[in-house]
Structure 1
C-alpha cells in the first residue's frame, strides 16, 4: 500500500550511498496517499531507497481510522513493520489478521492482499518492497469494499468459541444457527450491493417496525459502529412512529438511548 505511494514518489526518495551509513530523519507523514489506490485518508513520509545493486525501497505510511489500501500484489513480496496503532491485514481468500506495534507482516511474492487501520483508531507502519529487474513493483487492483472491510472489522470468535448464533441456537436448532452464520452474515451482510451502513439502517428500521427489542438492542450498537449517526437513528424512529405505531417507537427510543450511552 505504502509501496504504491513509494512508487509514485520514487523520484524524491533519497538514495542511500554505497559507502556510507545514512540516516533518513524521521518526521510525521504529511503527503496524502493517492485516492485511486487508497480508501480513506492515509499519508506517506520518510521515503528511502537503497543504492544499487540493492533494489529495496520504502516509506512510512499513516492511516486514519477506516483507511486502507486497495487490493494489490508485489512480484517480489513486501514487508510491513507496524510502529503505532492497531491495523488489519488480509490476503485474498484468507482471514483478517490484527496487527499491533512491533508486529512484522511478511507478504509473499504475488499474493493479493490489503492493509490499513482498524475502524476505531489510526495505524502507522513502515513498508518495504523490492523493485524487480523488469516490470512494476506493485500491481494495484480493485478497492476493498465497505462490506469486505466491515467483515474484517467484526471481531472473530476465538478458535474454539462458538459464534453468537451457535450460542443462541446451536443446541436446539443447529441448522438455523448454520444458516445464520453462513447465509445471513456470510452472504447477505457481505454483499457489496449495500454498504454495511445502509444494511444496518434497513435492519434497525425493520426491527423497530416489528417491535423486536431484543434484536434491536444489538443492532443499534452495530449500526453506530457501521457509520449510522445518532441523528439518523432518531430520525428513522420518528418516521417509523407514523407507520409502525407510537408504542414501537417509544420502545425504540429507550433502546437507542442505551446504545448512545454505550457507544
Structure 2
C-alpha cells in the first residue's frame, strides 16, 4: 500500500459569523424535521428548541452535541456549532501522518494489502486519495503523469478524458452514478471545495465507450452475468474487467480526519475478472 500526500484540509460548510441558533435551524430544516420532532428525539421541548434557534437561549455544550447527533451533523460541523455557541471544539483534526494515528494507518495498510489483487483505496472528504493498493495501481496504467501528481483525486482520475474515462465501457452510466453520489454529499455537507470539484468533473466532455468489437480479447462471459448493483466495466490490456464498488466509513469517529476517511473497494463482478486478477499475482 502507498500512503499519498493530500491537499489542504476541507473547509467547513458552516458560514463564519453566524450564531448557533440560525445554524441549528438550517441543519434541522435540511433534515426536514419540525421543532417538535427534534425536541422529542433530543429529550427536550419545542419551546426550548425555538428559544435556541432564535437566540433567546444559549445552549450548553451537551445540548449542542445532543442536537447535532440527532441532526446527523458531520463531525467537522459539530466543532463549528460548538464555536458558534461559545464553546471549545470537541473533536481534534489530527494530520494523517501524525504518530497518534500510527495504529489507524497500519490497520488501513493491512486492509488494503489483504484485499489484493482486487483494487482498493482510501479517500478523504474531497475524494483525494490518501492510500491505494497495487490493484488500483494496475488500473492506472497508462494514465498521464500530470493526472497522477498529488493530490490524486479519485473523481478527476475516473472522469477526466485523459484519465480512466476512455477505458470505461459504460461511462455514461458510471459517470451518472458518481455525479449523483457527489450531489448527495453536497446537499449533506454544503462543502464549497466539493462543489468546485463537482462543477469541474461534471464539465468534462463525455465520449461513449468503445464498441465491443474494438475491445480486443474481451474477458466477457459467453452469457451476460446478472448484476446486483451497477458495475464499472473497464478495459485493461485488451480485457474488459467488471467491478462492483463498495464504500465504508468509520463508526462513531472522534476525530475530524478519521470521520472524513472512506475506504472504497472494488469487488470482481464476474468469474473472468477474478481469474484475470489472480493471474497477475504470478507475473
TM-score (norm 2): 0.26
Specify which structure has the bigger relative contact order, considering alpha-carbon pairs within 8 angstroms and separated by 6 or more residues.
2
Give the structure-1-normalised TM-score.
Answer: 0.27
Q: Which protein has the bigger strand share?
A: 1
